[in-house]
Each structure stands twice: as structure tokens, then as C-alpha cells.
Structure 1
Amino acid sequence: MVGPTLAAELASLAARGWDTDTAVAVLRDHRVRRPQLAGSMSARLHEWALQLRAPFSAMDVDSRCDAINLLLESATSRPSLSTHDGHKPHLHFAADGDDVVDRVKAITAGGLAIFTVESEGGRLGACLREGCPEVFVDTSRNGGRRYCSARCGNHDAVRRHRTPGRRRG
């Protein structure tokens, strides 16, 4: 599930404020091979990260599929099965010789597509707390996640509780 979680972290990072060192750390955390961002690569990855937000913010399944199709068009490559380094068979969405940005584009677009199929179009979201830039992959049991974290959910609940004019029993 590297593709969708990597997409969520990059999209959130782009919304919080892009930082090349943090982006490289995110790539390393997701075991992206050769994660260095030399020259214009950081700017290219940042641009891609901004585009990744669309499927998470989509209001319905059709819009989510349209957003992912646009990403797939931009990241088109030829998928292949691999068993390198003793791993079980798994898909690679990009050629090993592609630069890190092209590989990340392929990993995230392909991963979002597969995850969306498996989740029947749901389970990608943007935090509902006003002002929160985070997006997430919903792996909860019931698929009803609305906030990026319990902290944001609690913050929003307190805000609603304290809203003037709220009927008190």
C-alpha cells in the first residue's frame, strides 16, 4: 500500500509547506529507491504533490476516478511484475532507470488506482477540520474516517460544542 500512503504524505506536505529535506525523508520512509532530489527534481515533485490532492478531496466516486485518471495519464508507464531481492511478486509501475520523480509519479498514480478499485471508490479523504491541510488513506474498520487524526476530530468536536447558539439541554 505504498502508493496511496506515499501520495497522502506528499500531498499533505505540499499543503503544509514544501521542504526538500522532508520530501526526501518521506521518500526514504516509503522505501523509494534512490530518493535524492537533485536540481529541478524537488520542484517537479512538489508540482506532482499538489496534483495528488485532487483524489483525496474529490466529493464523489466519479470525481475521484476522474482525478486518478488524470494522474495516470501524467504518469503513464508500463507496469511489470518483479520478485527482486527475495520479495514476493509485486508490481512495479516504472522502469528502474527512471528518475525518482517519474518513479514516484508512477508509484502514486498506480497505487491510488489499485487502492480505489479495492476500496470501491472510497477510503481516501481530506481532513474536515477547518484549516487542516492533511489528507489520508482510510484504513479504519468501517471506512468512516473524517479527520486525519483523533486530535483534529476532538478539536472540531470542541469547536462545535462551543459554537454560540448551540442548543444546550
Structure 2
Amino acid sequence: MVFAHDTEQSLVAAVTLVNTAGPPDTLETVADLDAYYERFEFTGRHERTRAELEEVRALRLALRRLLTADRDTAAELVNAMLAEARALPRLVRHDRFDWHLHAVSADAPLVSRITVEAAMAMVDVIRADEHSRLGVCADEDCDGLVLDLSRNRSRRFCSTACGNRNAVAAYRARQAADA
């Protein structure tokens, strides 16, 4: 484990949210947002409205900026996000999760909680100088984000589909060269 469980969970949730922008866009309905909320085991307020969905969809660009920024810029963005949300870190324990950080109340809007959780996770990335674990997919036709939590830092593609597509292309190129 590179980071604490809540940091990893928040980073995966942020990268996943950014990557829903696609193509194709996979966060188009309230049901899609419900599935995202449940997948990442968010707690607290969830209005299940179109307005909430649009707020979360709009957040994707800011999170992309944060996750692809250089270390110094990311620190500035984190500070701004935490200040805007009036974040006050505190330790909490709930459900199946042991002690971890929350920095806004459970009744804060979902978009605020996602923002603050991503910003708090980036605090750990910045402090540990692990920014190289975040990048853009190596597939030339994809701009998805990659979070590499592997021990040997070998992850290059945002998804199995991109990895497979590139493996097949490399295989075909080798076959053509041999022919």
C-alpha cells in the first residue's frame, strides 16, 4: 500500500470521476451518479437530483486540472479547494472503515465532499512527492487519467481496454514486420 486506505480510495474515486467524461460519457443520469456514490461508499447527503448530477459532472474539469497539475500548482489548487470548502479535518470511523479523515460535514453537498476528499488525498500525494503516480493514458487516442498504485510503477493505461488495444496493435505491428 502506497497511501492510507482513505487516500487511495479518494484518489481512485477522483480519477474514476474524471474518466467518466469519456468518450463515451458514463455519468449521464442520476442512476449513474447513484452507482458512483455506492461504488466508492460515500456517506452523507445524496440528493439524487439532476442538479446534483450536473454539479458533480462540472467538477470533473477541476479534478482533472488538479490531478494533472505539477506539484506546486497542485498544492495551490488543493489550498484553494480546502479554503473554499472551509475544510476542517477530523478523524472519523464508520461502516467498515477504521479511522480516516473527513474534512466537511456529512450534510455538505456531495460535490463539496468529493472535492474535499480529492484535495485531502492530494495533500498526501504532494507531501510524499508521489506525483509521478498520476498521469495521462499512454494510448495515443485516449486522454483518460491513470493512477498507478503498483509497486513497480508500471501502469501506463487508464483501462484494460486501452491496454489491450495497444497490445493488439503492437502484436499486429510485429506480425507485419515479420511478414
TM-score if structure 2 supplies the norm length?
A: 0.74
- SS at structure 2 position matched to 1:5: helix
Shift in alpha-carbon separation, 1:13–1:86, aligned structure 2, 3 A: closer
Note the aligned Cα RMSD (angstroms): 3.0
Separation (CA, whole Å) in 1 of partners of 2:83 and 2:169: 41
Q: Which residue, 67, 70, 80 being the options, matches 1:56?
A: 67
Q: Provide the residue aligned with 2:102 in structure 1.
A: 92
Tell me: CA distance 1:85–1:14, structure 2 relative to 1, closer, same or farther (3 Å): same
The residue that corresponds to 1:28 in the other structure is 38
User: For residue 5 of structure 2, what is the aligned residue in structure 1?
Assistant: none
Q: CA deviation at 1:160?
A: 5.7
TM-score relative to the length of structure 1: 0.78
8 Å contact kept, 2:46–2:109: no
Q: 1:19 matched to which residue of 2?
A: 28
Counterpart in 2 of 1:4? 11
Going from structure 1 to structure 2, the CA distance change for 1:161 and 1:76 (only over 3 Å counts) comes to: farther
Structure 1 gaps of 5+ residues are none
Q: Is 1:130 aligned to residue 137 of structure 2?
A: no
CA distance in 2, matches of 1:66, 1:161: 43
Task: Establish whether residue 47 from structure 1 lines up as the match of residue 54 from structure 2.
Answer: no
Unaligned 5+ segments in structure 2 are 1-7
C-alpha change, 1:153 and 1:48, in structure 2 (3 Å) is same
1:93-139 alpha-carbon deviations (Å, 9 max, x no partner) = 21122122222221122123223433532211221212324223211
The percentage of aligned residue pairs carrying the same residue is: 28
Q: Distance in 1 between matches of 2:139 and 2:108?
A: 38
2:3 match: none
In the alignment, structure 1 residue 82 sits paired with structure 2 residue 92: yes
Residue in 2 aligned with 1:38? 49
Residues 55-90 of structure 1, C-alpha deviation per residue, up to 9 Å, x if partnerless?
A: 3333x4334444444443444411111234585322
Q: Distance in 2 between matches of 1:73 and 1:91?
A: 16
